[in-house]
Amino acid sequence: MGLIQNILAVIVVLGLLITFHEFGHFWVARRCGVKVLRFSVGFGKPIWSRHDRYGTEFVVAAIPLGGYVKMLDEREAPVPEEQLDQAFNRKTVWQRIAIVVAGPLANFLLAIVAYWALFVVGTTAVAPMIGSVEPGSPAERGGLTPGQEIVAVRGETVRGWDEINLKLVAAIGMSGELRVDARSDASADSREYRLPVENWLVRQDPPQPLPSLGVTPWRPPLPAVIGQLVPGEAADAAGLQSGDKVLTVDGAPVDDWMHFVDIVRASPGDSLMLEVSRDDERLRLSVTPGRNELEEGVSIGYIGTGVASVEWPEEYLREIRYGPIAAVGEAVSRTGEMTLLTLDAIRKMLVGLISPSNLSGPITIAQISGDSARAGLESFVSFLAYLSISLGVLNLLPIPVLDGGHLLYYFMEVVRGRPVSEQVQAIGLRIGLALVGSLMLMAIYFDLMRLW
């Protein structure tokens, strides 16, 4: 069932992103007087098509991993004399630039609309309260203590752990002092703490900002209550059910969920006798954790369970909501912040500060799409906005084959006063295909490694 949800979610996400992107090209091309022959969402054999009154064929194709807008162009096929004024290649260089850049801009606009909707409806963030600080860590040396609320990172206000992680990821590679503002309670004034870091998070795979600082977020107590069961795994086979509360393991009391997890992880292949509470009854069930090999000689136990969700106290929740007008500025600001973060991540990957193993391909995108859809509409819309920004940024990279590569040629044409030769463009096309193909293969490889 999870696989089907992932597939459906990624089809919806990619379908929306591709449609918006290609519609950007299509809409501006029509305004510039270019005849559009085909608007396709997906590649391969059409599974649905129709023509409008202008002769444009709208297509939904079988492979939903891209799309294209095919325009009348003398470089691709002969154009009748009476239609030459509608050919793409006959338009001014500035019109061609507008048509090409419209696709990525449509993705940024989609992100702005998505964030605007979230800010108007309102989102709920968990207050960033520190649960514990690891001894000897940068957080401990900087003076942070459990029970404090983080209110700013590097001088920028934060309201939840998601915002904190974004600010921290932007500091990858930093050496020196990381400035964090925190307060002891809501009524107290905040003060600045300086956390010493050196080549922070460089090539960490994946980057883990909070654990690297030695900070564990506060969480409400988690009783050892079974929430989810993986079909066919040890817990399911032993007869455990959702809602069961684990009281003892081999006669020893279980304090909370993490205590239970520690016991299971330390017992691969060993039979454990659980005493559980179910509907006011006490049951004894035997379960044998499976063995998960981490590295040579190291293995941990697992039984295929997840913890039941718990309610957060009201005082630890922050509602983020804006009026329709104020939300526009916030949405534009968030889109700009995420765009700069994506560009910075690409730069850091190129110079070796971020491991290329953080690349994600279609498999990871499908997994995250499914997870975000199951987590709720807010999570799904946030992921859609971020992915739309990523698509816009990647398409603007100056790589032939991508929109950014075409823009590079057109700006060179503006400077030189004449188009780049077809021979140079053909060479660039081969280089671009090799680069994009290599990146795609790397992303799929890392996807498979993560699954393994």
Active site residues: 22
> d(Cα 438, Cα 432) in Å, to the nearest integer?
10
φ/ψ of residue 157, rounded to 5 = -65, 140
φ/ψ of residue 278, rounded to 5 = -140, 115
Tell me the pairing of strands 57-71 and 149-153. unpaired
User: How large is the angle between the packed helices 93-121 and 377-395, nearest 10 degrees?
Assistant: 160
What are residue 452's DSSP bridge partners? Answer: none
Q: Hey, is 414 helix, strand or coil?
A: helix
Q: Are 145 and 130 in contact (CB under 8 A)?
A: yes
Buried b (16+ CB within 10 A) or exposed e, 291-316: eeeeeeeeebbbbbbebbeeeeeeee
In angstroms, the Cα distances linking 430 to 68, 69, 241, 400, 425 are 19, 21, 57, 8, 9
- Most distant CA atoms of the chain, gap in Å: 90
Q: Hey, is 153 helix, strand or coil?
A: strand
Contacts 24+ apart (CB under 8 A), 261-270: 264/289, 264/301, 264/302, 264/303, 265/289, 265/300, 265/301, 265/302, 266/300, 266/301, 267/301, 268/292, 268/299, 268/300, 268/301, 268/302, 269/301, 270/301
> d(Cα 157, Cα 344) in Å, to the nearest integer?
20
| Both structure tokens of 444 | 């799929």
| Both structure tokens of 70 | 């095919």
